[in-house]
Amino acid sequence: MHVGKTRKSGLKKRKTKLEPMKIIIARLGDRLSDLKDAFDRQEAGRDGIPASELVKLFWTAGVDDAASTVEEFIQTLDDKRTFIGLDSFLRLYDKHENKMIATMTSTYTYV
């Protein structure tokens, strides 16, 4: 019996298509300026924010329950010392918001 070789290309992880930033910005609405201000204050002349400082950035933005979202995000990074840009922060914030809304709606039962 002959066993065929598997191709390495079949083992690659598929990249997920990112949602267009204009949709995320529209969802964030008025909160966008507060998030950008928090990002700019923490960036302080650097080219982005180290991934290790993301929880602090969420605190600066007034969000104190994002630790698990940040941990999940950091686990996906190849290099944990990566600097995160504003767009990645906004995507992560949006993901966290959606996660919190989903948790709230699934917790409460409406009669």
- pTM here is 0.77
Whether the predicted pLDDT of 110 surpasses 70:
no
Identity of the residue numbered 11: L
Q: What is the CATH number of the domain that holds 68?
A: 1.10.238
Mean pLDDT computed over every residue of the chain: 84
**Mean pLDDT value across residues 49-65:** 92
Q: Cβ distance 49 to 73 under 8 Å? A: no
Polymer length in residues for the chain: 111
Domain membership of residue 4 (yes or no) is: no
32 in a structural domain: yes
| Inside any domain, residue 77 | yes
Beta strand residue intervals within the chain, DSSP E: 49-50, 83-84
Q: Which pLDDT value is given to residue 1?
A: 47
User: Which own/partner pairs from 38-45 qualify as long-range (CB within 8 Å, at least 24 positions apart)?
Assistant: 38/62, 39/86, 39/89
Q: How many CB atoms lie within 10 A of CB 60?
A: 16
Which pLDDT score is estimated for 48?
A: 94
Residue 69, domain extent: 18-107
Number of domains making up the chain: 1
Q: Is the pLDDT of residue 86 over 80?
A: yes
Give me the mean pLDDT over the 76-105 stretch: 91
Residue 96 domain flag:
yes
